[in-house]
């Protein structure tokens, strides 16, 4: 016998079944959005070289100098003549890169050194580097002195050309070669930077651009004030 109560019970069962089918399966795996960005894997730093990617540098050839500095050759064969310099603010902190330099130097002065120029805090880092361009007939070389203040952050305080050299090789026809240069002595010392006069041998950068490598500082005594080099005396 069909009654109103039977009719209501029938529709109630249908609605309950539909609601159960619409609920997600709580026991199944969560849905992952295909649009979430993928994170790059962190470099696998070697022990003692935190902050230096072992895929970019030959850590087996690393050389520690002056306690907190590290010289590391790049892994790229095209950069085999360069050395990367890293600084470590404290024994447990990550290494910070100062830069990559070709550290061949024409003089007897050290390629990398530390001098407390302002006589405050830690000594500044001195880097003497070169860049050259040569072909079959000769070439030129630019020598640069760079000064860095290294602490929690690394600040380049000074980078000046100190010598530009131009060279021509002897030809097969017997024509003589030549070696010409212009240079300037820039000597960081405790409490000051001493700058000498510009010396020339067959090359005048006032008449030639010297590829932007002409020594340009006025001779005299300079001091480091904050992050600025100031001339204080002739």
pLDDT along the chain (234 residues), means of 10: 50 49 52 54 69 94 93 92 94 94 75 94 94 91 95 94 92 82 95 96 85 93 95 95
Assign residue 68 a region (left: φ > 0; alpha: ψ between -120 and 50; beta: otherwise).
alpha
Strands 63-65 and 178-189: unpaired
Q: What pLDDT, on the 0 to 100 scale, is given for residue 176?
A: 81
CA distance 26 to 55: 44
DSSP string, 186-230: EEEETTEEEEEEEEEEB--TTTS-GGG----PPSEEEEEETTEEE
Q: What are the φ/ψ torsions at residue 159 (nearest 5 degrees)?
A: -150, 110
Scored b (16 or more CB within 10 A) or e, 50-80 reads eebeeeebebeebeeeeebbbbbbbeeeeee
Token pair 């050194």: residue: 113
Tokens in use for 82? Answer: 């360069």
To the nearest 5 percent, what fractions of the chain are helix, strand and coil?
10, 40, 45
Q: What pLDDT, on the 0 to 100 scale, is given for residue 109?
A: 75
Task: Write down the pTM of the prediction.
Answer: 0.77
Assign residue 7 a region (left: φ > 0; alpha: ψ between -120 and 50; beta: otherwise).
alpha
Cα distances (angstroms) measured from residue 53 to each of 29, 63, 103, 144, 190: 37, 16, 22, 28, 35
DSSP string, 72-94: E-BSSGGGTT-EEEEE-SSTTSP
Token pair 């860095």: residue: 148
Helices (H), the chain: 4-22
């Amino acid at each position: 016998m069909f009654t109103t109560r039977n009719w209501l019970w029938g529709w109630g069962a249908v609605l309950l079944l539909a609601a159960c089918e619409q609920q997600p399966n709580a026991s199944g795996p969560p849905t992952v959005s295909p649009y979430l960005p993928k994170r790059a894997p962190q470099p696998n730093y070697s022990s003692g070289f935190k902050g230096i990617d072992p895929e970019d540098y030959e850590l087996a050839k690393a050389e520690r100098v002056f306690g907190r500095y590290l010289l590391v050759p790049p892994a790229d064969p095209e950069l085999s003549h360069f050395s990367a310099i890293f600084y470590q603010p404290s024994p447990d902190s990550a290494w910070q890169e100062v830069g990559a330099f070709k550290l061949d130097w024409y003089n007897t002065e050290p390629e990398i050194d530390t001098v407390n120029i302002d006589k405050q805090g830690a000594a500044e880092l001195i880097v003497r580097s070169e860049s050259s361009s040569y072909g079959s007939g000769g070439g030129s070389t630019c020598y640069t002195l760079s000064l860095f203040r290294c602490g929690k952050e690394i600040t380049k305080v000074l980078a000046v050309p100190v010598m530009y050299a131009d060279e021509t090789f002897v030809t097969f026809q017997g024509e003589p070669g030549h070696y010409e240069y212009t240079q300037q002595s820039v000597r960081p010392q405790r409490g000051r930077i001493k700058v000498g006069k510009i010396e020339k041998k067959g090359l005048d950068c006032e008449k030639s651009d010297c590829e932007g490598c002409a020594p340009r500082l006025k001779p005299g005594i300079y001091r480091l004030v904050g992050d600025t080099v100031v001339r204080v005396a002739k």
